[in-house]
Amino acid sequence: MMPRRLDAPPGALPILAWARDVPPGAVKQLQHLALQPYVVEHVAAMPDIHVSEGVAVGTVFATERHVAPGALGGDLGCGVGGVRFDYPAATLDRAALERLLATFARAVPVGDAVHRGRGVSPPDALAAPDLSTHRLLREWERLAPRHLGTLGGGNHFLELDRDAAGDLWLLVHTGSRGVGAAIAGHHVRVAERLGEGSLPALRTDTPEGVACLADTAWACRFARANREHLLSRAATVLAEALGREPDRASHVDVHHNHVAAETHFGRALLVHRKGAVGLAAGARGLVPGSMGTASYVVVGTGEARAFRSCSHGAGRVMTRKEARARIRPASLAHALRRVVFDGDRVASLIEEAPAVYRDITEVLEDEADLVTPVLRLTPLAVLKG
């Protein structure tokens, strides 16, 4: 799908959308962003665009010398990681999948659960974070050991899938947990005091802007370490049960809430992505569907007009409140009849029902000039946050 131009107010930058349907609320958010004095080139909307706090999920934009902490979401560095096992997934019957899911649930803190006591020691690369304030450092010291290797709630998941060749895949979707929320909240408050524009942004030639970029980078490192820890823990469970180690060469990991220094249109820019993935031409990424629909390994095309970006998933078409009002537990159970999940939680999982999300096939059709799907992953069992 070629991008289409959305209506932009007088004086605003162009808005390019790779989406057949952009909700009116998201259009307003895109228009507001396109009016900000620090945004350059244009604003890009991915095919999974939908309304969110401040900036719509599925938004990509760039600046030259500003960082807008309120445009990145609270779960900095949130993303998806996955790895393949050279193991015939078809040999896992429902009972075996249920046992594996139960073992995952015991091994991985889910939802609001965190590690007790001293928690988990962060990897050496994260042992001495250079955060900008003493308060953030204290928050890191308090939260990082308790939240590293935890899934969190909402749409976060740990999932087993089958690829087209019949091999087993392990996927995890999570982010920076309380660490990222503390860092994001701090810099949003600073920007509200000192920032420019009606969506406040900090100049990167000021101490506040430098600190925001540096602290956000630490949150993203923590998010990636969190996914790696979860993948490693779940892979150990699988190795013990199946007698197979993961194929390390197959490992894929992508952020979808971050800011990155990149070169576009011949100049150095800071690309902000909220609910979007940055993929250089030829780079692999993951685009998840929902609990009951396929996910895809994709390869980026490097489309310049999208700032070399793509969707981060299927994208919501219902709010959580709408889902609770419109979807019945029996309907969700029927939709997931071929997927192993915790049936005792069916009422609480309504907010993440497949009907809440766009058709992943349509999303991929809309971004055909952004990514090429190379592997379809069919869900077998899912542990939700």
What pLDDT is attached to residue 346?
87
Q: How many CA atoms lie within 13 A of 114 on its CB side?
A: 17
Q: Is 210 helix (H, G, I), strand (E, B) or coil?
A: helix
Euclidean distance between CA atoms 367 and 35, whole angstroms? 25
Euclidean distance between CA atoms 281 and 299, whole angstroms? 7
Name the residue with tokens 């895109």.
Answer: 30
Intervals of the chain under pLDDT 70: none
Euclidean distance between CA atoms 33 and 25, whole angstroms? 13
DSSP state at residue 318:
S
CA distance from start to end of the chain: 33
Q: What is the pLDDT of residues 321-374, one digit of tens each?
A: 999 999 998 988 898 899 999 888 888 889 999 999 999 999 999 999 999 999
Q: Which of 47, 19, 49, 48 is nearest to 33 (CA)?
A: 49
Euclidean distance between CA atoms 220 and 176, whole angstroms? 7
Check: pTM over 0.85? Answer yes or no. yes
Q: Which of 315, 306, 301, 308 is nearest to 278 (CA)?
A: 308
Instruction: List domains and CATH numbers for the chain.
Output: 4-317+357-384 (3.90.1860.10)
Tokens of 228: 């790696």
What pLDDT is attached to residue 380?
98
| Alpha helices per DSSP H over 93-176 | 94-107, 134-147
Name the residue with tokens 């685009």.
Answer: 287
What pLDDT is attached to residue 345?
87
What pLDDT is attached to residue 261?
98
What pLDDT is attached to residue 338?
93
Q: Which of 307, 310, 260 is nearest to 285 (CA)?
A: 310
- How many CB atoms are closer than 10 A to CB 220? 24
Length of the chain: 385
| Alpha helices per DSSP H over 278-346 | 320-326, 329-335
Crossing angle of the two packed helices 207-242 and 94-107, in degrees rounded to 10: 140
Identify the sign of the CA torsion 198, 199, 205, 206: positive
Q: Tell me the DSSP string of 166-201.
A: SEEEEEEEE--HHHHHHHHHHHHHHHHHH-BTTTTB
Look at strands 167-174 and 284-287 and give their pairing: unpaired
Tokens of 285: 């990424």
